[in-house]
Structure 1
């Protein structure tokens, strides 16, 4: 995965914004479901705490997000795009609580084509997985957590996790890594109302117009950049920290 060109990798996964996990709908009127960017550490933007992650988990997730989607000269990476905030909000909500899913034994092993199967759910998986990653890093790096080791060492660590060479205690590390990649990708391309895709950086990168009321005149105009800025579900052309 790390050998693929960054923009090809991201553009190829943009359709993930249409395949997010289904959850029960709720009516929201006159407000956002949470404060914009509320997951950012207070020392950077003076905003509120994480909804699900502890401080250490949040630091680890931001470092992981920046490895999965590294910044370049044109586009922020996963950390500054708010991907960790997106995941934090999902884990704090119905997705993390597994609402609408079967949660009681007996459990049966799923077929390989059904993907990774677990009875502990996303929230517990992330809690265990991030703790295990930091634990292994501290053992190998004189007590330093994942967020504290050099970027090059982070990449080597994740490459070993990706191919199954590195084991995490009590968890399928390879499957957990694959899940993090998918979730970070969704955070990069989801509507900013969910905490990620800050300033609509993902949409701007691929030229996606967002939730505009009508752009039928452009549907058949292939390989042309849409000339207007993207619009989120709130109707704002820009998503800012103000």
Structure 2
């Protein structure tokens, strides 16, 4: 090797990597535009969540829908500053979830045998979420009418609604053919998800929950605010659709 000829050791690591990358891209006939056209550069372009549409119930019937709106309003009651579960769209969120892949148990193993599992083993029933809700709401409606002179849950006073739900939660009021405590627990979890989820899924209407807790939403980054603790973020929240409005398409 002649004196002065640069060796591999003499090359800086960054220059070597840059040169290798240049050689790699020079050797291919695929243009960058072609590559970019095949990759999902837009957010969620590979598997976009379908935005909900306002309108009639897609899973619940009319009586079930009224009961659900009353139930989510008990779980998340309104106050002077924030709407309750009903006006925040929690019942709509659950309805659309049950009418979609979640309710149909898509991607889950659904063949027998089925056995009672432990809490850490997740859902073990032959019924999916949609059937569990249908059975649970029917059993809850029967129990409610038996203890309220034939009135459905949506027609009870606020105090009577709370008393009835507390009885179900404690296991004092049994639901025929349904685990009332498990049904109530699932209902609370789903209402909470609907309250805090991105509005594209039907709940958190106008981002009321995010505004309540000061959550900035699906913004690109928060680098300027990483170390600014106990300070309220000054900008309005942004959803996956890029705005602060409830999906209306």
TM-score (ref. length: structure 2): 0.78
Matched-pair contact (CA < 8 Å) for 1:116–1:175: no
Alignment of 1:120-199 (within 5 A): 120-199=127-206
Of 48, 61, 64 in structure 2, the residue corresponding to residue 57 of structure 1 is 64
- Structure 1 residues 90 and 82, CA gap change in structure 2 (3 angstroms): same
Contact 1:98 1:122 in 2 (8 A): yes
8 Å contact 2:115–2:125 — kept in the other structure?
A: no
- Cα distance in structure 1, aligned partners of 2:105 and 2:149: 37
Q: 1:191-213 deviations in whole A, cap 9, x for unaligned? A: 00000000101100110000011
Alignment counterpart, residue 51 of structure 2, candidates 19, 33, 49: 33
- The answer to whether the Cα contact below 8 Å between 1:85 and 1:195 also exists between their aligned partners in 2 is yes
- Partners of 2:132 and 2:214 in 1: CA distance: 34
Counterpart in the other structure of 2:215: 208
Answer with 214-223 or 226-235: which moved more: 214-223
Task: Indicate the SS of the match to 1:187.
Answer: helix
Question: Segments of 4+ in structure 1 off by > 6 A?
Answer: none
Deviation at 1:113? Answer: 3.1
* 1: CA distance, partners of 2:128 / 2:174: 19
- 2:183 and 2:52 map into 1 onto residues whose CA distance is 27
Q: When the two structures are superposed, what TM-score results if normalisation uses the length of structure 1? A: 0.80
Cα distance in 1, alignment partners of residues 198 and 247 from structure 2: 13
What secondary structure, in the 3-state scheme, does the structure 2 residue paired with 1:212 have?
A: coil
Q: Report deviation, 1:116.
A: 5.5
Give the distance between the partners of 1:201 and 1:58, measured in 2 at CA.
Answer: 21
Q: For each residue in 1:83-118, what CA deviation from the matched residue of structure 2 results, as whole angstroms up to 9, or x when unmatched?
A: 000000000001000011111111122123335642
Cα root mean square deviation, aligned: 1.7
User: Offset of 1:164 from its aligned partner?
Assistant: 1.1
2:245 is the alignment partner of 1:238: yes
Rounded to whole Å, the distance in 2 between the matches of 1:114 and 1:78 is 29
Structure 2 runs not aligned, ≥5 long: 1-45
Partner of 2:29: none
Q: Which residue of 1 aligns with 2:121?
A: 114
SS of the residue corresponding to residue 209 of structure 1 reads coil
Corresponding residue pairs, total: 204
